[in-house]
Amino acid sequence: MPVKIMDTKQFHIRPPIDLISRFEATFRSYPDFVVRSPGRVDLIGTHTDYNEGWVLPAAINRYVWLAVKELPTPLITLYAESTGDWQPDTPQVVFRLTELEHKKTLGGDPLPEWATYAAGVAWSWQESGLATPGSTIMIKSDVPIGAGLSSSAAVEVAYAAAWAHITGWEIDRMELAQLCQKAENNYVGVPSGLMDQFACTFGKKGHVLLFDCRTHDWQPLAFPDTLAIIVADTGTRRTLINSHYEQRRAECEQAARIIQQYAPDVRALRDVTLELLAEHADEIPGPAYNRAQHIIAENERVLAAARALKAGEPAVLGTLMDESHISTRDLFEASGLALDAMWEASQGHPARLGGRGAGAGWAGCMVFLAEAEGAADFADYLSRRYNEATHQTPTIYALSTASGVQVFPSRGW
Ligand code: GLA
């Protein structure tokens, strides 16, 4: 499915007037179009994606916006607008599309990290034999960075949609998501799965997405408006580069490889049951065994969560999210002090249904499911109790599900 310009009238979205006027003031020309790409929350499915399992994310109404103008030269000029919690040291970067492997600016300096996402997506397009158009791009984002809400994938998918739009490629959306994942894995250097790029691309307002990370089959599941997604940002941050993420992935693969010696049909932990795992308890090192236990049970939880949502049983979904948090904390060891403190602080409110760490974990945000009716009170309760316990003030967001990446005209809003 090609990435198409949408008729803005059918969407009740606020035009990024400030971004467009900043673009005009900075580049003395008008952008050709704008792109809006959402962040995501993952209701359940911690680290299951790269184990070829299932996940249940939703795109959210926090966005990366790009204002884009095509350039006749093979150069990308990027300008990043500061956001509340992010002021780039080098807000303007120019790099050549012909020398992406050097990861250098036109002036020969190393690309700042925020610009490697643009260069990485351009690189992965070129690797697939697709032409990358020169362009001037101003970027603005209100997706908290490095907090577990997929700020990286939102940016990658935004650039990809912009270049697909300029060139008019008839690119399939799953291929677009996969090329962005390739950029993140092989250029930026984070061995992530496909969940984030999938959610930012395929998001559907009013829905969460059940995604099979092996077959790439997916289905949108209606998310009733009697439920609320409350995200609590602890303000702590981790970086996936040099984090334990790579180590966790290696531990999961190690467990799968050992079992594969005896059960050749096993390709990934997706194919392993808890019984089969237990048969090899003596051979699998302790940490890898615990990681595998988490992944196998987490896959079951994702499928059970989808069934609960379909059956109109949000309390069951909430309980599964809590179980996911406990397993992530104790077996996968991907929680952190701040996340655990937030989870504890959330306990005991009548509107609370369940909660778990967002994204890769270790730091950043917790995702809670609550009854919409008591959600505002729950948010206050959470903030107050977390502050009492840690003396820190969290940022609490009530988020809605949103559409995946879209391209809009820059005029006529
Ligand atoms: C990060 C990665 C995803 C996924 C999650 C953990 O968000 O980008 O691919 O592995 O962590 O579920």
CA–chain centroid gap for 154, Å, is: 7
Q: Which ligand 1 atom sits nearest the alpha carbon of residue 50?
A: 10
Tell me the pLDDT of the chain (413 aa) as tens digits: 444 444 444 444 566 788 999 999 999 999 999 999 999 999 999 999 999 999 999 999 999 999 999 999 999 999 998 777 778 888 999 999 999 999 999 999 999 999 999 999 999 999 999 889 999 999 999 999 989 999 999 999 999 999 999 998 878 999 999 999 999 999 999 999 999 999 999 999 999 999 999 999 999 999 999 999 999 999 998 765 457 899 999 999 999 999 999 999 999 999 999 999 999 999 999 999 999 999 999 999 999 999 999 999 999 999 999 999 999 999 999 999 999 999 999 999 999 999 999 999 999 999 999 999 999 999 999 999 999 999 999 999 999 999 999 999 888 66
Q: Where are the beta strands (DSSP E) in 223-333?
A: 227-233
| Residue 99 contacts residue 111 (beta carbons within 8 Å) | no
Catalytic residue check, 85: no
**pLDDT value of position 2:** 46
What is residue 354's three-state secondary structure? Answer: strand
**Contact assessment for residue 242 and residue 381, using Cβ atoms and an 8 Å cutoff:** no
DSSP state of 404: -
Domains of the chain: residue spans and CATH: 8-222+402-409 (3.30.230.10), 227-399 (3.30.70.890)
Tokens of 15: 């035009």
Q: What is the pLDDT of residue 38?
A: 98
Q: What pLDDT is recorded for position 136?
A: 97
For residues 291 and 286, give the distance between their C-alpha atoms in angstroms, rounded to a whole number.
9
**Beta bridge partner(s), residue 69:** 136
Closest ligand 1 atom to 195 CA: 9
Give dist(CA 227, CA 225) in Å, integer.
5
What SS3 class is residue 333? coil
Q: Which residue has the tokens 């099979």?
A: 212
- In the chain, what is the greatest distance between 2 CA atoms, to the nearest angstrom? 67
Distance 194 CA to ligand 1 centre (A): 8
For 39, the enclosing helix (H) or strand (E) is strand 33-44
Instruction: Reduce the secondary structure of 205-253 to three states and give it as a string.
Output: CCEEEEEECCCCCEEEEECCCCEEEEEEECCCCCCCCCCCHHHHHHHHH
The torsion angles phi and psi of 366, rounded to 5 degrees, stand at -105, 145
CB-ligand 1 contact for 49 (6 Å cutoff): yes
Asked if 348 and 400 touch (Cβ cutoff 8 Å), the reply is no
In contact, 343 and 366? CB cutoff 8 Å: yes
Rounded distance from Cα 197 to ligand 1 centre (Å): 10
Question: Atom 10 of ligand 1 has which residue's CA nearest to it?
Answer: 47
The closest alpha carbon to 125, from 94, 151, 164, belongs to 164
Other beta carbons within 10 Å of 274? 11
Q: What confidence score (pLDDT) does residue 285 get?
A: 97
**Distances 335 to 330, 341, 381 between C-alpha atoms, Å:** 8, 10, 22
Beta strand extents in 301-388 (DSSP E only): 352-357, 365-371
| pLDDT of amino acid 410 | 84
Dist. CA 329–CA 312, nearest whole Å: 28
Look at strands 75-80 and 135-141 and give their pairing. Answer: parallel
Cα of 141 from ligand 1 centre, angstroms: 20
pLDDT score, position 205: 97
State the distance from the centre of ligand 1 to the C-alpha of 87, rounded, in angstroms: 25
What pTM value is reported for the model?
Answer: 0.95
Spell out the SS3 assignment of 183-216.
Answer: HHHHHHCCCCCCHHHHHHHHCCCCEEEEEECCCC
Nearest ligand 1 atom to the CA of 49 is: 10
- Quick check: CB of 47 below 6 Å from ligand 1? yes
Tell me, using a 6 A CB cutoff, whether residue 192 lines ligand 1. Answer: yes
Gap between the Cα atoms of 326 and 25, Å rounded: 50
Task: State the amino acid at position 175 in one-letter form.
Answer: E
Atom 7, ligand 1: residue with shortest CA distance? 359
Question: Which of 182, 195, 243 to mutate to test ligand 1, by most ligand atoms within 8 A of the CB atom?
Answer: 195
Catalytic residue, chosen from 49, 196, 271, 322, is 196
